Chain A
Amino acid sequence: MNKKPEDIKVIIATDCGSTTTKAILIQYDEEKGEYRQTHRGEAPTTVEAPFEDVTKGVLNSVQELAELSGRELLDEDNRIIKERTENRGADIYISTSSAGGGLQMMVAGVVRSMTAESAERAALGAGAIVMDVIASNDHRLPHEQIERIRQLRPDMILLSGGIDGGTLSHVVELAELISAADPKPRLGIGYKLPIIYAGNKDARENVSGTLEEKVDLVIVDNLRPVLERENLGPARDKIHDMFMEHVMQQAPGYKTLMSWTDAPIMPTPGAVGAIIERVAKLNDIEVVGVDIGGATTDVFSVFKDPEDEKPVFNRTVSANLGMSYSISNVLAEASLPNISRWIPFPIDERKLRNQIKNKMIRPTTIPQTLESLVIEQAIAREALRLAFIQHKAFATTLKGVQKQRTIADAFDQSGTEGTIVNMMNLNLLVGSGGVLSHAPRRNQSAMMMMDAFRPEGITRLAVDSIFMMPHLGVLSEVHSQAATEVFLKDCLIFLGTCVAPVGQIKQGKDVMKYSINFPTGTEEGMLKQGEMKLFKLGVGEEAEAVFEPQGKADLGEGKGSKVETIVHGGVVGIILDGRGRPLMTVPDDKDARIEQMLGWLENLGVYNMEELRALGKA
């Protein structure tokens, strides 16, 4: 691409998903001096038979964009017009792809919690699905590891291990394992499996000696040159390159598509990660993003490392937590009582189980009755909760790092196991995926996110309206300003702000005094434990607020310390959540639990209460 960022005024971006291809049009508004997303088009993806050419779906979706915007985007030869005039053509075209199951990788490293984990982080950050992690200490016998590599048939393997100048034998052993397995790529028979080596630089020669003949070996800088520091960039970039050069080349039509784009095609989750990382860095905030799909749930986060205050990006994929294909797995992993605690009416276990399984075998159906909707949203809460637990366990500080101590540390020696996810510092929580983006009421999305993630302190909530994050992710690589502007203005629908004091306080006792200066007048009062309150404050509106946590309650400034801040509105409003953190106080008795839950749902206007209560009586 050789256009200057200031010359770019019209952008087309597509995301080729496994079922639909989504296109968006971004235009520069000269009057307001900002980039806005103006139109979107959608068409079925055409990777599989009978079409077997991804570009058809892309062109269909772009054609829809052209029809809707009245702008001529395709020429007579059915190609995207790249010379922009007044109402014809676009400056750049970019795309992401997750068609064909996305990028499926295997990673290998020496120690599971060190180089293997860094390699996993690199692969996940690049947008891959990590099928398995092979490590010297993963308690599998070599022949089991070989069997596994052969069975899984990944698109690519990332091999790391050893710091620079570190172990040789372990790394070579891993290379020998891979060589013995002689893995074949998943797609296409005619090409060699790409393997990226990002380990000990002293072992390069040995590794290439072992692997060169059997696979397509690429060597990049060590992703863990010393244990104290990760250097994931080169490995991540190389994964993107190899994804383009090898994996994409095998998918029908991608060669043509690649020739059209002005920036490399990114794997969809990698692009989502990129935009979240960018936004967090630009605004200096800590962000969690979640994308709950049918088969998998991705969690992205940017938190500051408690040691050096540098923002750290993490992504995890919970490959078996989702709302349709994997819905039954949510049940298996969360257990029934955990799901039914979110359902405010009694339900027969057999019936619930059968309903969930039926959704699994018929993944495209949508809930018609309120009962089905409530059940589906209950399952979504558990899927999100479990995915976030996995994310927290993964997003940790580096292990194996040397510590400096003074005598004062005698009784306060902390390990390095700590997660860097600190919900109190979280500024923005973004949800996306059908169940969150398309919930009939936005209040439901807010409620699901609060129940599943339990944000602490003051946190803004938002959903991705039309799953535009992938497009913006790849755009951020080209035109950062346009991407972030559109992200905040069009992509995100702000739901509002959740204010949740932390602390275990007895039910019914005072938790927090509040005073919020709304445009319509000041609201003052006392929030009690186990209570939820909602105040309307529209999108783009702000209000000054003073919160005084009582007793042991904490809103980020310490126990019982007053917080003066500005809260941001949204389609839902300002939510005061007095349910207690980190554990919510829920009565043991079933009826009392349902009654309390109905209270919360009513205060927040989550469901049609009459019908909901009727369900309980029926």
Chain B
Amino acid sequence: MAHAYTPGLKVSSKIRLQKRRILPLKGEVTVKVGDMVESETVVARTELPGKVTPVNAANILGVPATDLMNYVLKKEGEMLKKGESYALAKSFFGLFKTTLRAPDECMLESVSNITGKILLRSKPLPVEVKAYIEGKIIEVIPREGVVVESWAAFAQGIFGIGGETNGILKMVCNAPDEPLTPEKISAEDAGHVLVGGSIVTAAALKKAIEHNVKAIVVGGFDDQDLRNFLGYDLGVAITGSEDKGITLMVTEGFGPIPMAYRTFELMQKHQGQKACVNGATQIRAGVIRPEVVIPMRESELSEELHVEAGSLKPGTPIRIIREPYFGMLGKVTELPSALLKLESETKARVLKVQFDSNNEIATVPRANVEILET
């Protein structure tokens, strides 16, 4: 097969974006097709089943497990109020009574005459799903969720921390290769999504959290800082559920790497607009990348852009994603078909690339580049 697998990150100035907003369990959808929704609008809700508490009833009552049924006062499935008794055993002609009372509002789930246990299920927990992006509901999946559609400027990152959030986009660095340092953050940035350059330092991140910054979008991040930030060494790239008070999106990778110019430019263009950021990342089959979505009103639209999935051919803009040219941008000049021996003596299919920065030409394995998608 002549197909080269070239993973790419999507960076687009205008895209029709559809987001599925699905409940973890079946529930109720609160909007209908055609509704316009805001980020915070609740589109679906459900209730997670409550915790189950087993009670060693037979032993507490002092009766054999097989006879337990005779001492239970309620039926299976019945709701219990707090303090309500649901099992009673009498001894010595009713002189001594042992009563089991519900510790909280709950349901009598089951009674077992083998283990002698009674299972109590506490109240269900409500779960809500919000729209996340502003837009229109185009589809309702009955009892499961909705699809929200919006025109938006869109940028994917390579790696992120933290869940969904939104705020006003603000540039704090003037160039893609400028590091985001603490002095660039002030109290005014509260509630904003800050866009930095090549790297965010640990101190800057700390200051951002102190000042209630919603999210940071930056080119690179140091692994040592990540470890200190999370408090543990991240083993596999599955994130999104961290609760650190900020969402971080890294666009390029680990270490100081200038943010791709295209991404930087896009952010610059939309400065001052509302942006939705999600740091959730899953690098596995069914990949999930962190993203910045800047929804647009209908009035801002002029024409629909044609989006095309890229393939490698001479002239394709690419980025190198592994040492020794890590992070450099360039254009494909040649695609030799024969396998070539690399410095590491690995035989691989390669391509020749001309770098944008210095016009030099280098040979890199095809696996180590990504197409810059538009």
Q: Do chains A and B touch in the complex (CB under 8 A)?
A: yes
Residues of A near any B CB (own CB < 8 A):
18-19, 42-44, 48, 60, 64, 100-101, 142-143, 146-147, 150, 168-169, 172-173, 176, 179-180, 182, 206, 295, 320, 325-326, 328-329, 331-333, 349-351, 353-373, 438, 440-441, 608, 611
Q: Mark B191-231, 1 if CB is under 8 A from A, else 0.
A: 00000000000000000000000000000001110100000
Is the beta-carbon distance between A357 and B345 smaller than 8 angstroms?
Answer: no
Q: Which of A206, A326, A355, A371 has the most CB of B within 10 A?
A: A355
> Closest Cβ of chain B: how far from A183's Cβ, in Å?
12
Instruction: Find chain B residues with CB under 8 A from A355 CB.
Output: 254, 323
- Nearest-neighbor residue (CB-CB) of B109 within chain A: A180
A-B contact pairs, 21 of them (CB 8 A): A169-B114, A176-B112, A180-B109, A180-B110, A182-B49, A295-B284, A320-B236, A325-B283, A332-B233, A357-B223, A361-B159, A361-B237, A362-B7, A365-B368, A366-B368, A367-B342, A368-B324, A368-B342, A369-B343, A440-B344, A441-B345
Is the beta-carbon distance between B346 and A366 smaller than 8 angstroms?
Answer: yes
Chain B contact patch, size range: 35 or more
- The answer to whether A368 and B235 touch (CB under 8 A), given A44-B1, A168-B114, A354-B222, is no
Instruction: Find chain A residues with CB under 8 A from B233 CB.
Output: 328, 331-332
> Closest Cβ of chain A: how far from B248's Cβ, in Å?
13
Is the beta-carbon distance between A364 and B7 smaller than 8 angstroms?
Answer: yes
Instruction: Find chain B residues with CB under 8 A from A350 CB.
Output: 222-224, 255
Given contact pairs A169-B116, A349-B224, A361-B254, enumerate 19 new A-B contacts (beta carbons under 8 Å): A48-B286, A142-B52, A150-B49, A168-B114, A206-B114, A295-B284, A320-B236, A326-B235, A328-B237, A331-B233, A350-B223, A360-B237, A362-B253, A365-B365, A365-B367, A366-B348, A366-B365, A368-B323, A368-B364
Is the beta-carbon distance between A353 and B224 smaller than 8 angstroms?
Answer: yes
Task: Determine whether B301 belongs to the interface, using a CB cutoff of 8 Å to chain A.
Answer: no
- The answer to whether A173 and B53 touch (CB under 8 A), given A333-B235, A354-B255, A373-B344, is no
Q: CA separation between A142 and B52, bound complex, in Å?
A: 7
Instruction: Find chain B residues with CB under 8 A from A295 CB.
Output: 236, 284
Q: CA separation between A146 and B49, bound complex, in Å?
A: 11
> Closest Cβ of chain A: how far from B358's Cβ, in Å?
19
Instruction: Find chain B residues with CB under 8 A from A180 CB.
Output: 52, 109-110, 119, 121
> Closest Cβ of chain B: how far from A149's Cβ, in Å?
11
Q: CA separation between A325 and B285, bound complex, in Å?
A: 10
Task: Determine whether B321 belongs to the interface, using a CB cutoff of 8 Å to chain A.
Answer: yes
Is the beta-carbon distance between B114 and A320 smaller than 8 angstroms?
Answer: no
Instruction: Find chain B residues with CB under 8 A from A182 CB.
Output: 49
- Nearest-neighbor residue (CB-CB) of B282 within chain A: A325
Instruction: Find chain B residues with CB under 8 A from A608 CB.
Output: 345
Is the beta-carbon distance between B234 and A328 smaller than 8 angstroms?
Answer: yes
Q: Which of B234, B254, B284 has the most CB of A within 10 A?
A: B254
Instruction: Find chain A residues with CB under 8 A from B116 CB.
Output: 169
Task: Determine whether B3 belongs to the interface, using a CB cutoff of 8 Å to chain A.
Answer: yes
Is the beta-carbon distance between A369 and B324 smaller than 8 angstroms?
Answer: yes
Q: Which of B112, B119, B345 contacts A440 (CB 8 A)?
A: B345
Instruction: Find chain A residues with CB under 8 A from B343 CB.
Output: 368-370, 611
Is the beta-carbon distance between B344 and A169 smaller than 8 angstroms?
Answer: no
Q: CA separation between A356 and B254, bound complex, in Å?
A: 9
Q: CA separation between A42 and B2, bound complex, in Å?
A: 11
Is the beta-carbon distance between A368 and B344 smaller than 8 angstroms?
Answer: yes
Task: Determine whether B51 belongs to the interface, using a CB cutoff of 8 Å to chain A.
Answer: yes
Task: Determine whether B20 belongs to the interface, using a CB cutoff of 8 Å to chain A.
Answer: no
Instruction: Find chain A residues with CB under 8 A from B255 CB.
Output: 350-351, 354, 358
Is the beta-carbon distance between B368 and A332 smaller than 8 angstroms?
Answer: no
Which 5 pairs of residues, A with B, have the shortest CB-CB distance? A329-B235, A440-B345, A332-B233, A373-B344, A353-B223
> Closest Cβ of chain B: how far from A179's Cβ, in Å?
8
Instruction: Find chain B residues with CB under 8 A from A365 CB.
Output: 321-322, 365, 367-368
- Nearest-neighbor residue (CB-CB) of B281 within chain A: A361
Q: Which of B158, B236, B284, B346 contacts A362 (CB 8 A)?
A: B158
Q: CA separation between A60 and B121, bound complex, in Å?
A: 52
- Nearest-neighbor residue (CB-CB) of A49 within chain B: B286
Instruction: Find chain B residues with CB under 8 A from A101 CB.
Output: 285
Scan residues 25-57 of chain B and give those whose CB is less than 8 A from a CB of chain A: 49, 51-54
Is the beta-carbon distance between B321 and A362 smaller than 8 angstroms?
Answer: yes
Is the beta-carbon distance between A369 and B344 smaller than 8 angstroms?
Answer: yes
Number of A-B contacts (CB under 8 A): 166
Q: CA separation between A356 and B233, bound complex, in Å?
A: 12
Q: Which of B117, B232, B285, B370 contacts A18 (CB 8 A)?
A: B285
Q: CA separation between A332 and B322, bound complex, in Å?
A: 21
Is the beta-carbon distance between A332 and B234 smaller than 8 angstroms?
Answer: yes
Scan residues 130-155 of chain B and give those whose CB is less than 8 A from a CB of chain A: none
Is the beta-carbon distance between B346 and A373 smaller than 8 angstroms?
Answer: yes
Instruction: Find chain A residues with CB under 8 A from B285 CB.
Output: 18-19, 48, 100-101
Q: CA separation between A371 and B343, bound complex, in Å?
A: 9
Is the beta-carbon distance between A325 and B324 smaller than 8 angstroms?
Answer: no
Instruction: Find chain A residues with CB under 8 A from B344 CB.
Output: 367-370, 372-373, 440
Instruction: Find chain A residues with CB under 8 A from B261 CB.
Output: none
Instruction: Find chain A residues with CB under 8 A from B313 CB.
Output: none
Q: CA separation between A369 and B344, bound complex, in Å?
A: 5
- Nearest-neighbor residue (CB-CB) of A101 within chain B: B285
Instruction: Find chain B residues with CB under 8 A from A64 CB.
Output: 1
Q: CA separation between A100 and B286, bound complex, in Å?
A: 9
> Closest Cβ of chain A: how far from B370's Cβ, in Å?
8
Is the beta-carbon distance between B283 and A367 smaller than 8 angstroms?
Answer: no
Q: Which of A44, A325, A331, A611 contacts B237 (CB 8 A)?
A: A325
> Closest Cβ of chain A: how far from B290's Cβ, in Å?
10
Is the beta-carbon distance between B223 and A146 smaller than 8 angstroms?
Answer: no
Instruction: Find chain B residues with CB under 8 A from A353 CB.
Output: 223-224, 254
Instruction: Find chain B residues with CB under 8 A from A360 CB.
Output: 236-237, 283
Is the beta-carbon distance between A43 and B236 smaller than 8 angstroms?
Answer: no
> Closest Cβ of chain A: how far from B285's Cβ, in Å?
5
Q: CA separation between A331 and B234, bound complex, in Å?
A: 9
Is the beta-carbon distance between B323 and A372 smaller than 8 angstroms?
Answer: yes
Q: CA separation between A331 and B236, bound complex, in Å?
A: 11
- The answer to whether A43 and B1 touch (CB under 8 A), given A173-B115, A328-B235, A362-B158, is yes
Q: CA separation between A326 and B348, bound complex, in Å?
A: 23
Scan residues 328-374 of chain B and give those whose CB is less than 8 A from a CB of chain A: 342-348, 364-365, 367-368, 370
Q: Which of A19, A100, A332 has the most CB of B within 10 A?
A: A332
Q: Which of A60, A143, A364 contacts B367 (CB 8 A)?
A: A364
Q: Which of A326, A356, A372 has the most CB of B within 10 A?
A: A372
Q: Mark B241-282, 1 if CB is under 8 A from A, else 0.
A: 000000000000111000000000000000000000000010
- Nearest-neighbor residue (CB-CB) of A146 within chain B: B52
Instruction: Find chain B residues with CB under 8 A from A371 CB.
Output: 323
Is the beta-carbon distance between B322 and A368 smaller than 8 angstroms?
Answer: yes
- Nearest-neighbor residue (CB-CB) of B347 within chain A: A440
- The answer to whether A176 and B235 touch (CB under 8 A), given A42-B1, A353-B223, is no
- The answer to whether A325 and B253 touch (CB under 8 A), given A176-B115, A180-B109, A367-B346, is no
Instruction: Find chain A residues with CB under 8 A from B237 CB.
Output: 325, 328, 360-361
